[in-house]
Amino acid sequence: MIDSHSHTFYSKHAVGTVDELVRASIKAGVSILTITDHAPFTVDRDNRLRLSELDRYFADILQAQQSYQGQIQILRGLEFDYMPGSDVYNRELLDRYELDFAIGSIHYVEVPGEPMVKVWELPRLAGQAFLDRYFADLEALLDSGLFDAVGHADTLLRGVPEEVVLRRLEPLLGLFARNGVAYELNASGLRKSSLDPESGCELQGLWSYPSRLLLPQLIAHDVAFTVGSDAHDPRDAGEGIRELLHALQPLGLQRISYFQHRRRIDVPLGDAMAINMKGEV
């Protein structure tokens, strides 16, 4: 099993050391794990790695690579925040630290005349002005040339009707393959809450993202896919990945990719699933 999106206590709103996450991932059957704590950023800086912690973060990963050699492949990643104007800041970080995998995610969106929107503020996600800015930011992220994959591009499905998200995403689908950016299938959409469109209540246990309707279009646009649990706790290591891939394979998903030294490696899904079924790592 491949898990290309995971967090440790370095992200501050997540728990578990690198060692604890790795041990839990091995137990869950993960064979290739990329640790992608939130990179330092100018917004919400107390909820991410601090610049002064990066050396220790990478040292912990190196230590785990050595301790668990032969049991699991561990890769060095970071999840970057993308906002307009953040390119220079993020490029400097990317130049300074050698990574296997760089995720670009949108967590914060500046909407004119409103307090900054966080993508987990579900009741605010369906606003027109927000949607305009979110998808403009996503286009800029895809064009930035900085990242290997977009993290949870479809997280808006927690609070926005699927047809609205699809209509807004469709014009951008060509940019993924053209710019060599992978689309992340983020399994946390299977366990996070979402808004019930009828009642407006926040419900648990609904599959919000990724969109099963969008998948065939992404495949038709020759998009590469990464997959991640987005675990913020060792108890969620590898969580949802098997279920997600079993549901998406019949819809045409044929391969999953991961990145090493910022280069994409494709794994046929049949092989990955056969290994998973036997419970081997």
Say which residues have a Cβ less than 8 Å from residue 275's Cβ, sequence separation at least 6: 1, 31, 281
Nearer to Zn ion, 5 or 23 (CB): 5
* Only segment of 78-86, 215-223, 234-242, 255-263 that touches Zn ion (CB under 5 A): 78-86
Site for Zn ion in 28-47 (CB under 5 A): none
Q: How many CB atoms lie within 10 A of CB 31?
A: 18
* Only segment of 149-157, 172-180, 195-203, 205-213 that touches Zn ion (CB under 5 A): 149-157
Q: 202-203 and 255-260 as β-strands: parallel, antiparallel, unpaired?
A: unpaired
Q: How far is the CB of 279 from Zn ion (least distance, A)?
A: 26
Give yes or no for residue 6 binding Zn ion (CB under 5 A): no
Give yes or no for residue 230 binding Zn ion (CB under 5 A): yes
Nearer to Zn ion, 97 or 275 (CB): 97
Nearer to Zn ion, 181 or 219 (CB): 181
Nearer to Zn ion, 16 or 151 (CB): 151
* Only segment of 89-97, 124-132, 228-236, 264-272 that touches Zn ion (CB under 5 A): 228-236
Q: What does the alpha-carbon distance between residue 176 and residue 268 come to, in Å, rounded to a whole number?
A: 20
Nearer to Zn ion, 25 or 105 (CB): 105
Give yes or no for residue 105 binding Zn ion (CB under 5 A): yes
Angle at 40 between CA 151 and CA 150, to 5 degrees: 10
Q: Where in the chain does DSSP place strands (E)?
A: 2-3, 32-38, 73-81, 101-105, 108-109, 117-118, 149-150, 182-186, 194-195, 202-203, 225-228, 255-260, 263-268
* Only segment of 61-69, 111-119, 151-159, 265-273 that touches Zn ion (CB under 5 A): 151-159
Give yes or no for residue 184 binding Zn ion (CB under 5 A): no
Q: What does the alpha-carbon distance between residue 153 and residue 226 come to, in Å, rounded to a whole number?
A: 12
